[in-house]
Amino acid sequence: MTWAIPASAQPFLPVAGSDQKFPVRRIYCVGQNYAAHAREMGSNPDRELPFFFSKPADTLVPDGATISYPPGTSNLHHEVELVVAIGTGGRDIAVKDALDHVWGYAVGNDLTRRDIQAEAKAAGRPWDMAKGFDHSAPCGELHPVGETGHFKQGRIALSVNGEARQTSDLSDLIWSVEEVIAYLSSLVELMPGDLIFTGTPEGVSELTHGDHCVAEIDGLGRVETHIEAE
């Protein structure tokens, strides 16, 4: 078999302390999974069933990258998140078994065109162009769970140009990692190579030309992103 056009490169995350690469299949994202962030976005933080949106795998951006300010927006926002990498797939995974499916963890930044998202929400339309645009998923190195253990608590934070913007604790997740995996696997079959961005805490705010954004989680390091100067 020959391809009609050149095949696209396989998206991946580098594995910390190794020359290995973790191939990425899909990126699922949990919306409003911290109570304070849900409130700042005008929603109710009660434990309703979690909801999900997706980003294409090729939106991943490595640590230290410089990216262009995206077109079509004048209100680009940062969102620091714990990222879960699935190593063993499955359907209808039980909560008690969910962490057995995790290969590792990373720090991510769910960049969002907030004005486009607001327009989509008001019109009852999908968020794809607000969330899944080019270079919208900066992500740090992937840390194998065998080396770090699981992350149920710990500081999660983001700064812009050295100024603290977001600071919270992973224990404040409304839906835990295992609950997210279990519920998501009841909707789709999870597969090795899937990533789950687990939601962002309060303090999301605007990025502009020339900004230097640092997202970090205790025990996982950081991912730094530069927004190209105008």
| Nearest by Cα to 116 from 78, 155, 73 | 73
Distance between CA atoms of residues 191 and 39, nearest Å: 32
pLDDT of residue 1: 85
DSSP reduced 3-state for 109: strand
pTM of the entire predicted model: 0.95
Distance between CA atoms of residues 221 and 157, nearest Å: 11
pLDDT of residue 42: 61
What's the pLDDT tens digit per position in 145-198? 999 999 999 999 999 999 999 999 999 999 999 999 999 999 999 999 999 999
Q: Of 47-56, 67-76, 77-86, 205-214, where does mean pLDDT reach its minimum?
A: 47-56
pLDDT of residue 40: 64
> Beta-carbon neighbour count of residue 118 at 10 Å?
14
pLDDT of residue 36: 67
| Nearest by Cα to 151 from 177, 180, 183 | 177
Residue matched to tokens 């995350």: 13
Q: Is residue 197 within 8 Å of 217, Cβ to Cβ? A: no
Q: Which CATH class is domain 20-227?
A: alpha beta
Asked if pLDDT for residue 5 goes beyond 70, the answer is yes
pLDDT classification of 46: cutoffs 50, 70, 90? low
pLDDT classification of 230: cutoffs 50, 70, 90? confident
Residue 134: DSSP 8-state: T
What's the pLDDT tens digit per position in 65-104? 999 999 999 999 999 999 999 999 999 999 999 999 999 9
Distance between CA atoms of residues 117 and 58, nearest Å: 20
